[in-house]
Amino acid sequence: MHKEHWLKSELDQLKQAGLWRSLRSVTTAPTGRILLDGREVILLGSNNYIGLSVHPIVVEAAATTVQKYGTGASASRLMSGNCQLYADLEAKIAKAKGTETALVFGSGYLANIGTIPVLAGDGDLILSDALNHASIIDGCRLSQATKQVYRHCEVEHLESLLAQSTKFRRRLIVTDGVFSMDGDIAPLPEICALAERYDATVMVDDAHGFGVLGETGAGTIEHFGLENRGVIQMGTLSKAIGGLGGYVAGSAVLIDFLVNRARSFVFTTGLPPATLAGASAAIDVIRSAPELRQRLSSNVFLLKNALVESGFQLLPSKTQILPLILGSADVASRFAEVLLSHGVYAPAIRPPTVPEGTSRLRISVMASHTTEDLETAVKGFVAARAATQIDSSTHPKQHD
């Protein structure tokens, strides 16, 4: 045991810096109200944006599939784990995304860390937005390519880096579609135009766009009308889709390449068949039930307006992710704790998830919230502000 003293002292340092992370126990499905550590609270920290993880059609599809196939795939997809349900799911993803085909991975994290290193290697350049998700950052770290980070959503900076990139064999621009902790949307039309001018490939991580953005809920590319621009669309089945898994949608040759080269595809077990059936059903519901997206938008409108009217200044998000910047990790943790004591759960997001000095509450809205849930939540925010005496009407520090 004594050999582990250093672990404890590092954890103590995390605690002192307000960066301690611990697990809470949830004993209900992720809807507007959950039981958290045995207590009912309003949930403002879930990605189950349109409630598909508990949608009757999705649950039924998963339940009948688990009866037929059992609980697990038992092998990697290239061995005996390629359940025929993958074909249907991948066809649905490709259709929604307007691509030739698609490939499902075990998670979004695995999709990013497997795809980026095989798309860009030694002699290539990766250009990555400063606020990209950790799984993109880790994918870049695993790549042998040169990496350059451009300032968040700043196309001028991206262009200046592209203009100096002629010595590289290939260029890959990678960006979140909807930024997971800021809720803003990447300027994809401008990024695509630059990519065409400088002969670069664009890869977008649509984890928070699929199911939410666009006329049919197909995501960020549909939102901007950028189908047919050759963007590689990566995403996850774990957020609005309500299940688990990641995907890459693109050309058939790209997908063949990934099947042969992406290590996080090759060396891991396939997803449980019930998860595949649930995701397929969820994608059908996204298309057939636009009212879920409408309810989400009206809930976003309601909560955002109520918070702003109560004097809270949110980051200018255009999506269901509403960030309230509080500054230091310690302050954000305290605010979240007091908020929780008032029955509202919006977790504090601290470094390294967000840059130093921009710790925040990431408030995420769901279609399943009732008006009463949202009104009660706002009262909780007001009470937490009073109790912590935090001035949330100004941004202590913006990231750059």
Among 133, 208, 369, 395, which one carries the catalytic annotation?
208
Residue with tokens 């209900």: 28
Binding residues for ligand PLP restricted to 241-260, rule: CB under 6 A? 246
Of 10-18, 200-208, 307-315, 388-396, the window that binds ligand PLP (rule: CB under 6 A) is 200-208
Instruction: Indicate which residue of 92, 239, 304, 369 is catalytic.
Output: 239
Long-range CB contact pairs, 352-357, < 8 A, 24+: 352/134, 353/134, 353/181, 354/181, 354/399, 355/131, 355/399, 357/327, 357/328, 357/396, 357/397, 357/399
- 361-379 in b/e form (b: 16+ CB < 10 A) is bbbbbbbbbeeebbebbbe
**Are 350 and 394 spatial neighbours (Cβ–Cβ below 8 Å)?**
no
The reply on whether position 108 binds ligand PLP by CB under 6 A is yes
Contacts of 254 (CB under 8 A, 6+ apart): 232, 248
Single-letter amino acid code for the residue at 54: V
Active-site residue, 180 included: yes
Q: Does 212 bind ligand PLP (CB under 6 A)?
A: no
3-state secondary structure of 391: coil
Candidate residues 49, 69, 86, 109; the one interacting with ligand PLP per rule CB under 6 A? 109
Pick the binder of ligand PLP from 48, 101, 107, 165 (CB under 6 A).
Answer: 107
* Active-site residue flag, 157: no
Question: Does the footprint of ligand PLP cover residue 233 (CB under 6 A)?
Answer: no
Query: What's 390's DSSP letter?
Result: -
> Of the candidates 236, 264, 275, 280, which one interacts with ligand PLP according to CB under 6 A?
236
Instruction: Answer yes or no whether residue 53 interacts with ligand PLP by CB under 6 A.
Output: no
Backbone angles phi, psi at 393, to 5 degrees: -90, -5
Minimum distance of ligand PLP from residue 117's CB (angstroms): 16
Q: Which stretch binds ligand PLP (CB under 6 A): 73-81, 202-210, 258-266, 302-310?
A: 202-210
* Pure H helices in 289-399: 290-309, 329-341, 371-388
Enumerate residues 158-187 that contact ligand PLP by CB under 6 A.
176, 180
Nearer to ligand PLP, 350 or 385 (CB): 350
Q: Is 379 a catalytic residue?
A: no
HSE of 374, CA atoms in CB hemisphere, 13 A: 21
- Of 273 and 380, which has the nearer Cβ to ligand PLP? 273
Beta strand 232-236 pairing with 246-250: antiparallel
Compute the distance between CA of residue 115 and CA of residue 134 in angstroms, rounded to an integer.
14
- Of 240 and 338, CB closest to ligand PLP: 240
Q: Does residue number 205 form part of the binding site for ligand PLP (CB under 6 A)? A: yes
Please count the residues of this chain forming the interface with ligand PLP, following the rule CB under 6 A: 14
- 238 lines the binding site for ligand PLP (CB under 6 A): yes
Nearer to ligand PLP, 126 or 306 (CB): 126
Q: Please select the residue that binds ligand PLP; options are 140, 153, 207, 340, rule is CB under 6 A.
A: 207
- Binding track, positions 125-164, relative to ligand PLP; x by CB under 6 A: --------x-x-----------------------------
Supply the DSSP symbol for 52.
G
> In angstroms, rounded to a whole number, what is the distance separating the alpha carbons of residues 301 and 306?
8
Shortest CB 197 distance to ligand PLP, Å: 26
User: What is the distance, to the nearest Å, from the Cα of residue 279 to the centroid of all Cα atoms in its chain?
Assistant: 16
* Active-site hit among 128, 135, 180, 364: 180
Shortest distance, CB of residue 76 to ligand PLP, whole angstroms? 18
Contact 71, 274 (CB under 8 A): yes
Query: Which residue lies nearest ligand PLP, judged by its C-beta?
Result: 108
222 contacts 212 by C-beta, under 8 angstroms: no
Q: Catalytic amino acids?
A: 180, 208, 239
Judged by the rule CB under 6 A, the positions of this chain that interact with ligand PLP are 107-109, 112, 133, 135, 176, 180, 205, 207-208, 236, 238, 246
